[in-house]
Amino acid sequence: MLSKLVTREQAVEHVLDGSRLMHGGFGTIGSPALLIDTILQKGIRSLTLIGIDAGYPHVGIGKLISHRRVKHLITTHIGSNPEAGQQMMDGKLEVTFYSQGILAEKIRAGGVGIPGIVVDANMGGERTEGGEPVIFAGRPCLIEPAITAEVGIVYAKQADTYGNLIFDKTARNLNPLVAMASDITIAEVEEIVPVGELDPEKIVTPGIFVDWIVTRSGGSS
Protein backbone atom coordinates (compact mmCIF):
# COMPACT_ATOMS: atom_id res chain seq x y z
CA MET A 1 0.00 0.00 0.00
CA LEU A 2 1.15 3.52 -0.76
CA SER A 3 2.25 5.39 2.32
CA LYS A 4 3.74 8.81 2.98
CA LEU A 5 5.43 7.57 6.14
CA VAL A 6 9.20 8.17 6.05
CA THR A 7 12.06 8.48 8.51
CA ARG A 8 12.64 11.88 10.02
CA GLU A 9 15.91 12.25 8.11
CA GLN A 10 14.15 11.55 4.77
CA ALA A 11 11.37 13.94 5.70
CA VAL A 12 13.64 16.97 6.05
CA GLU A 13 15.51 16.23 2.80
CA HIS A 14 13.97 19.32 1.18
CA VAL A 15 14.88 21.67 4.02
CA LEU A 16 18.02 23.38 2.71
CA ASP A 17 20.19 26.38 3.56
CA GLY A 18 18.11 29.48 2.81
CA SER A 19 14.75 27.64 2.71
CA ARG A 20 11.48 29.39 3.52
CA LEU A 21 10.18 27.22 6.35
CA MET A 22 6.68 27.61 7.78
CA HIS A 23 5.68 25.99 11.04
CA GLY A 24 2.59 25.28 13.12
CA GLY A 25 2.45 25.80 16.87
CA PHE A 26 1.44 28.41 19.42
CA GLY A 27 4.28 28.53 21.95
CA THR A 28 5.13 24.87 22.38
CA ILE A 29 1.56 23.68 21.87
CA GLY A 30 1.18 22.01 18.50
CA SER A 31 4.84 22.58 17.63
CA PRO A 32 6.53 19.74 15.66
CA ALA A 33 9.38 19.22 18.13
CA LEU A 34 10.94 16.17 16.48
CA LEU A 35 11.15 17.81 13.04
CA ILE A 36 12.63 20.97 14.57
CA ASP A 37 15.33 18.89 16.28
CA THR A 38 16.01 17.01 13.03
CA ILE A 39 16.41 20.26 11.07
CA LEU A 40 18.72 21.56 13.82
CA GLN A 41 20.83 18.37 13.71
CA LYS A 42 21.04 18.57 9.91
CA GLY A 43 22.89 21.86 10.36
CA ILE A 44 20.65 23.95 8.10
CA ARG A 45 21.34 27.72 8.08
CA SER A 46 19.93 31.03 6.82
CA LEU A 47 16.31 29.97 7.17
CA THR A 48 13.36 32.28 6.68
CA LEU A 49 11.00 31.16 9.42
CA ILE A 50 7.25 31.85 9.22
CA GLY A 51 4.91 31.22 12.16
CA ILE A 52 2.90 32.66 15.03
CA ASP A 53 5.76 33.16 17.50
CA ALA A 54 9.43 32.53 18.23
CA GLY A 55 8.86 29.79 20.82
CA TYR A 56 11.20 29.79 23.80
CA PRO A 57 15.03 30.05 23.74
CA HIS A 58 15.54 26.32 24.41
CA VAL A 59 12.15 24.83 23.57
CA GLY A 60 10.23 24.58 20.32
CA ILE A 61 10.98 26.63 17.21
CA GLY A 62 13.10 29.02 19.32
CA LYS A 63 15.97 26.51 19.28
CA LEU A 64 16.63 27.29 15.61
CA ILE A 65 16.89 30.98 16.52
CA SER A 66 19.13 30.40 19.55
CA HIS A 67 21.47 28.34 17.34
CA ARG A 68 21.63 31.18 14.79
CA ARG A 69 20.01 29.20 12.02
CA VAL A 70 17.48 31.88 11.12
CA LYS A 71 18.13 35.05 9.11
CA HIS A 72 14.56 36.30 8.73
CA LEU A 73 11.63 35.78 11.05
CA ILE A 74 8.08 36.48 9.83
CA THR A 75 5.94 36.34 12.93
CA THR A 76 3.46 38.02 15.30
CA HIS A 77 5.01 37.79 18.76
CA ILE A 78 8.47 37.08 20.17
CA GLY A 79 7.89 38.01 23.82
CA SER A 80 8.53 34.47 25.07
CA ASN A 81 11.95 34.34 23.37
CA PRO A 82 14.24 37.16 24.61
CA GLU A 83 17.04 35.68 22.49
CA ALA A 84 15.07 36.56 19.35
CA GLY A 85 14.56 40.12 20.64
CA GLN A 86 18.26 40.45 21.40
CA GLN A 87 19.32 39.20 17.94
CA MET A 88 16.81 41.63 16.40
CA MET A 89 18.21 44.59 18.37
CA ASP A 90 21.78 43.51 17.52
CA GLY A 91 20.89 43.53 13.82
CA LYS A 92 21.58 39.80 13.46
CA LEU A 93 18.00 38.76 12.82
CA GLU A 94 15.54 40.46 10.49
CA VAL A 95 12.05 40.37 12.03
CA THR A 96 8.83 41.18 10.19
CA PHE A 97 5.79 41.52 12.45
CA TYR A 98 2.19 41.08 11.40
CA SER A 99 -0.93 41.16 13.50
CA GLN A 100 -1.71 37.54 14.31
CA GLY A 101 -5.06 37.20 12.56
CA ILE A 102 -3.70 38.95 9.48
CA LEU A 103 -0.69 36.62 9.29
CA ALA A 104 -2.99 33.60 9.66
CA GLU A 105 -5.25 34.91 6.89
CA LYS A 106 -2.28 35.68 4.58
CA ILE A 107 -1.15 32.08 5.05
CA ARG A 108 -4.67 30.82 4.45
CA ALA A 109 -4.78 32.83 1.21
CA GLY A 110 -1.51 31.18 0.17
CA GLY A 111 -3.02 27.83 1.05
CA VAL A 112 -6.12 28.30 -1.11
CA GLY A 113 -4.37 29.85 -4.09
CA ILE A 114 -5.49 33.46 -3.67
CA PRO A 115 -2.81 36.11 -4.40
CA GLY A 116 -3.66 38.34 -1.45
CA ILE A 117 -6.26 39.64 0.96
CA VAL A 118 -7.82 43.06 1.55
CA VAL A 119 -7.71 44.26 5.15
CA ASP A 120 -8.91 47.35 7.01
CA ALA A 121 -6.16 49.99 6.94
CA ASN A 122 -7.35 51.69 10.10
CA MET A 123 -6.76 48.73 12.31
CA GLY A 124 -3.11 48.93 13.10
CA GLY A 125 -0.83 51.20 14.99
CA GLU A 126 2.81 51.47 13.97
CA ARG A 127 4.12 48.29 12.42
CA THR A 128 7.22 47.14 10.64
CA GLU A 129 5.49 45.91 7.50
CA GLY A 130 2.54 47.34 5.60
CA GLY A 131 0.58 46.19 2.58
CA GLU A 132 -0.32 48.21 -0.52
CA PRO A 133 -2.84 50.99 0.28
CA VAL A 134 -6.09 51.01 -1.72
CA ILE A 135 -9.57 52.44 -1.38
CA PHE A 136 -11.93 49.49 -1.42
CA ALA A 137 -15.66 49.49 -0.66
CA GLY A 138 -15.30 53.20 0.01
CA ARG A 139 -12.78 52.95 2.80
CA PRO A 140 -9.00 52.79 3.22
CA CYS A 141 -7.70 49.26 2.99
CA LEU A 142 -4.43 47.44 2.48
CA ILE A 143 -3.72 44.65 0.03
CA GLU A 144 -1.67 42.09 1.91
CA PRO A 145 0.07 39.52 -0.30
CA ALA A 146 -0.53 35.83 0.38
CA ILE A 147 2.26 33.89 2.06
CA THR A 148 3.52 30.48 1.02
CA ALA A 149 6.62 28.51 1.93
CA GLU A 150 8.90 25.95 0.34
CA VAL A 151 8.53 23.58 3.26
CA GLY A 152 5.94 23.41 6.04
CA ILE A 153 6.21 21.43 9.28
CA VAL A 154 3.06 20.64 11.24
CA TYR A 155 2.02 18.63 14.28
CA ALA A 156 -1.11 16.48 14.34
CA LYS A 157 -2.62 13.90 16.64
CA GLN A 158 -3.42 11.34 13.96
CA ALA A 159 -2.73 10.72 10.29
CA ASP A 160 -3.67 7.95 7.96
CA THR A 161 -1.16 6.73 5.39
CA TYR A 162 -2.61 9.10 2.75
CA GLY A 163 -1.85 12.07 5.02
CA ASN A 164 -5.34 13.00 6.21
CA LEU A 165 -4.85 14.82 9.51
CA ILE A 166 -6.77 15.20 12.77
CA PHE A 167 -5.48 17.71 15.31
CA ASP A 168 -5.60 17.87 19.10
CA LYS A 169 -7.47 20.67 20.91
CA THR A 170 -5.41 23.88 21.02
CA ALA A 171 -2.57 22.08 19.22
CA ARG A 172 -4.50 22.82 16.02
CA ASN A 173 -3.78 26.60 15.86
CA LEU A 174 -1.82 27.44 12.66
CA ASN A 175 -1.15 23.82 11.66
CA PRO A 176 -3.98 23.27 9.13
CA LEU A 177 -3.12 26.56 7.39
CA VAL A 178 0.60 25.77 7.22
CA ALA A 179 -0.19 22.36 5.73
CA MET A 180 -2.06 24.02 2.85
CA ALA A 181 0.35 26.91 2.21
CA SER A 182 3.58 24.94 1.86
CA ASP A 183 4.99 23.42 -1.34
CA ILE A 184 6.13 20.39 0.66
CA THR A 185 4.32 19.63 3.90
CA ILE A 186 5.74 17.32 6.53
CA ALA A 187 3.41 16.15 9.29
CA GLU A 188 4.71 14.95 12.64
CA VAL A 189 2.01 12.81 14.23
CA GLU A 190 1.40 10.87 17.41
CA GLU A 191 -0.22 8.01 15.56
CA ILE A 192 -0.54 6.76 11.99
CA VAL A 193 -3.35 4.44 10.93
CA PRO A 194 -4.26 2.68 7.65
CA VAL A 195 -6.50 4.58 5.21
CA GLY A 196 -10.16 4.06 6.01
CA GLU A 197 -9.76 4.18 9.75
CA LEU A 198 -10.30 7.94 10.16
CA ASP A 199 -13.87 9.19 10.00
CA PRO A 200 -13.97 11.41 6.86
CA GLU A 201 -16.27 13.83 8.74
CA LYS A 202 -13.56 14.40 11.36
CA ILE A 203 -10.61 14.96 9.04
CA VAL A 204 -9.47 18.59 9.27
CA THR A 205 -6.65 18.61 6.70
CA PRO A 206 -7.24 16.48 3.59
CA GLY A 207 -4.23 14.32 2.79
CA ILE A 208 -3.74 15.93 -0.62
CA PHE A 209 -1.94 18.76 1.25
CA VAL A 210 0.48 16.42 3.04
CA ASP A 211 3.62 15.00 1.41
CA TRP A 212 5.49 13.22 4.18
CA ILE A 213 4.57 11.83 7.58
CA VAL A 214 6.82 11.04 10.52
CA THR A 215 5.70 9.59 13.82
CA ARG A 216 6.77 11.22 17.07
CA SER A 217 8.57 8.00 17.95
CA GLY A 218 10.65 8.70 14.83
CA GLY A 219 10.41 5.29 13.15
CA SER A 220 9.26 4.59 9.61
CA SER A 221 6.99 1.69 10.42
Partner 1 sequence: MGLEIDQRNMVARRAAKEIAPGMAVNLGIGIPELVADFIPNEWQVMFHSVNGILGLGPTPLKGEEDQHISNAGGAPVTVVPGASYFDSTIAYGMIRRRKLDVAFIGALQVNRKGDLANWIVPGSRVHGFGGGAELAYYAKKVIVLMSHVDPHGEPKIRKECTLPLTAKGCVDLIITERAVIEVTKNGLLLTEVMYPYSLENVILHTGATLNISENLQLVD
Outline where DSSP puts E strands in 13-138: 20-23, 47-50, 70-75, 94-97, 116-120, 132-136
Measured between alpha carbons, how far is 110 from 176 in angstroms, rounded to an integer?
Answer: 12
Work out how close the CB of 29 gets to partner 1 at its nearest, in angstroms, rounded to a whole number. 5
* Number of other CB atoms surrounding residue 135 within 10 Å: 9
Q: Which of residues 21, 27, 153, 163 is near partner 1 by CB under 8 A? A: 27
Binding pattern for the stretch 115-154 against partner 1, x by CB under 8 A and - elsewhere: -----x-xxxxxx---------------------------
Interaction between residue 211 and partner 1 (CB under 8 A): no
Is the Cβ of residue 3 or residue 96 nearer to partner 1 in the bound state?
Answer: 96
Interaction between residue 28 and partner 1 (CB under 8 A): yes
Measured between alpha carbons, how far is 184 from 14 in angstroms, rounded to an integer?
Answer: 8
- b/e burial code for range 162-190 (CB count within 10 A of at least 16 → b): bbbbbbeeebbbbbbbbbbbbebbbbbbe
Work out how close the CB of 179 gets to partner 1 at its nearest, in angstroms, rounded to a whole number. 10
- Give residues 143-202 in contact with partner 1 (rule: CB under 8 A): 167-177
Q: Binding residues for partner 1, per CB under 8 A?
A: 26-30, 52-53, 75-80, 84-85, 88-89, 95, 97-102, 104-105, 108, 120, 122-127, 167-177, 204
